[in-house]
């Protein structure tokens, strides 16, 4: 017997990669770049063992529309409900990352300081890498302390494209702004 239903849909992006988006009754719970549908469904089934998986663009109409607006340069923030699942520490990191303004970047160290765990830079990086909602929780806006682009689940090229979409100079950031 299923305990919940997860709706999912695919959207093309102008970055050469497509997105899969999934939502529960609580809100959007997963965004993934570039998987095949069977791979995305398998990942959802591993994380939500008790969920019925239903492909339904209409159920995701608002998130898909807002993401399309973001890729078209007409949206900087998102208003649809979010339901990322993670540990208390991950949630704290993701909340800090969600506060990075559009078109700005910050460092893993700055995130660690913001959550009052200045010695936990690697743990912050790991939590950032576990972000289930890239773009919406803008983990692509977190860079290395030396200004280098590093660590992005979709790959460095995709991170660079997202930052370029947001009009950021992405070669090297001499002094990353701290939000």
- What residue has token string 């078109």? 103
Q: Please give the Cα distance from 32 to 173 (Å, whole number).
A: 27
As given in the structure block, the two tokens for residue 24 are 């529960």
Q: Give the H/E segment covering residue 51.
A: strand 51-55
| Active site annotation includes 139 | yes
Q: Please give the Cα distance from 162 to 11 (Å, whole number).
A: 16
- What residue has token string 């979709």? 154
Catalytic residue among 6, 28, 60, 139: 139
CB within 8 Å of 126: residues ≥ 6 apart: none
Catalytic residues: 139
């Amino acid at each position: 017997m299923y305990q919940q239903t997860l709706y999912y849909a695919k959207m093309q992006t102008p970055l050469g990669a497509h997105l899969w988006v999934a939502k529960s009754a609580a809100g959007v719970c997963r965004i993934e770049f570039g998987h095949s549908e069977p791979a995305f469904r398998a990942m959802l089934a591993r994380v939500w063992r008790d969920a019925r998986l239903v492909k339904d663009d209409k159920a995701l109409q608002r998130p898909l529309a807002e993401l399309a607006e973001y890729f078209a340069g007409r949206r900087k923030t998102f208003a649809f409900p979010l339901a990322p699942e993670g540990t208390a520490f991950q949630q704290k990191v993701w909340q800090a990352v969600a506060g990075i303004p559009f078109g700005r970047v910050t460092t893993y160290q700055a995130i660690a300081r913001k959550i009052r765990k200045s010695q936990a830079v690697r743990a912050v990086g790991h939590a950032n890498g576990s972000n289930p909602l890239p773009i919406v929780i803008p983990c692509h806006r977190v860079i290395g302390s030396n200004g280098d682009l590093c660590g992005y689940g979709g790959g460095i090229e995709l991170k660079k494209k997202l930052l370029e979409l947001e009009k950021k100079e992405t070669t090297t950031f001499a002094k990353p702004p701290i939000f």
